[in-house]
Chain A
Amino acid sequence: MNNHSVIIWVAVTVAVPLFLVAKALWQLWRVNGFRLNRLFELGKEKEIFYVPGDDYFNNDEDEYMS
């Protein structure tokens, strides 16, 4: 068992699957990236639930929260 053989084996066995996984993840991000971004915005309730002209945010806060 030579050292260079082990190095080549490790390089191919690690690099090629990593490349394939990275490519698959990148394609997933490219197709679904917009939706993933929206997932991160769920905490910003004001932006999601606010509708221009809607009176909820102008009403009494107790009435809105009930």
Chain B
Amino acid sequence: MNICRDGMEHETASPTIEEIGKFFADYAACLLGCGATCIRIEKNIGRMAETLGVEADMTILPSHILMTVNSKDGLATWSTNHRMHHTGIDYCINTKLSRLSWAMADGKIGFREAVAEAKRIVGEQPAPEWVVLLLASAANTSFCRLFGGDGESMLLVFLATMVGYRLKQVMLAAKVDVRVVFLCSAFCSSVISAGGHLFGWGSTPEVALGTSVLYLIPGIVYINSVSDMLDGHYVCAYSRFMNAAMLTACLSLGLCAGILLLGLSL
């Protein structure tokens, strides 16, 4: 596949360096925004670059991608800076975009089909809010059971998670700062689950109180931070870790505020 910018006529199907660079930058920004690790982004881009017969170098920053694409003969180059897409962590998109890179590497689709498919994948509707709400509540209730909670505690955690998670969804949709969202959601969940302490419901009220805020823990961000650190992407690793630590601090503040306001002695 010849890729040149010398003004000579080429096959209309051959992508230019500019098109490849723009696609790679957009693709990498989408992956970064939906929670992929830096090594995954590098491998996917590298795979597609090899298939297209170009060399792609990128700098992955916490909120930006600096992408440079060079032709193998060195005659053409394209650099671009792309902002990360703040789409929220979505491993479904992550998996589909990775699969797309493999499909291109295996020769199943060409460049233009890949561009169209990537656009379709990113534009897909996310999972319904109510389904996510119910499943998150059920998952947190399971956590309560795992830590030894009884039936009453599980019910309290289910209700507390449902209210807190729904509040999180509503506040995030209203573009409230994510740290304030975490603080308010943790406060609501901890107050509701403290009913076990206040009214003597169940025999494990402390488990209900402790597990009611677990749905807010940014686990994926912590894991990605460690993965980036192991791969040598220290800037991204530190950024992700600080982001996760900030959210954990806000979550803890909300929990402590709930405990202090209710005057609980643990």
Contact = CB atoms under 8 A, between A and B. Distances in A.
Interface of A: 1-2, 4-6, 8-9, 12-13, 16-17, 20, 23
B166 A20 contact: yes
Contacts of A6: 198
Interface residues of B, number: 16
A9 B167 contact: no
17 contacts: A1-B198, A1-B199, A5-B263, A6-B198, A8-B261, A8-B262, A9-B191, A9-B192, A9-B195, A9-B198, A9-B262, A12-B188, A12-B191, A13-B163, A16-B163, A16-B188, A20-B170
B163 A20 contact: yes
Contacts of A23: 170
A21 to B, nearest CB: 9
A13 B191 contact: yes
B191 to A, nearest CB: 4
Contacts of B198: 1, 5-6, 9
B194 interface: yes
Contact of A8 (B163, B167, B191): B191
B149 to A, nearest CB: 19
Contacts, number: 36
A2 B188 contact: no
A23 B195 CA distance: 25
Nearest to A13: B192
A12 B195 CA distance: 11
Interface string B86-112: 000000000000000000000000000
Nearest to B187: A12
A10 B188 CA distance: 11
A48 B113 CA distance: 49
Interface string B166-179: 11001000000000
B194 A9 contact: yes
Interface string B138-171: 0000000000000000000000000100110010
B170 A13 contact: no
A63 to B, nearest CB: 51
Contacts of A2: 263
A61 to B, nearest CB: 51
Specify which of A1, A12, A17, A20 lies most central, judged by the most chain B CB atoms within 10 Å of its CB.
A12
Contacts of A5: 198, 261-264
Contacts of A1: 198-199
Contacts of A16: 163, 167, 188
Nearest to B185: A16
Contacts of B187: 12
A23 B171 CA distance: 11
Contacts of A9: 191-192, 194-195, 198, 262
B166 A4 contact: no
B163 A17 contact: yes
B144 to A, nearest CB: 18
Nearest to B192: A13
Interface in B239-266: 261-264
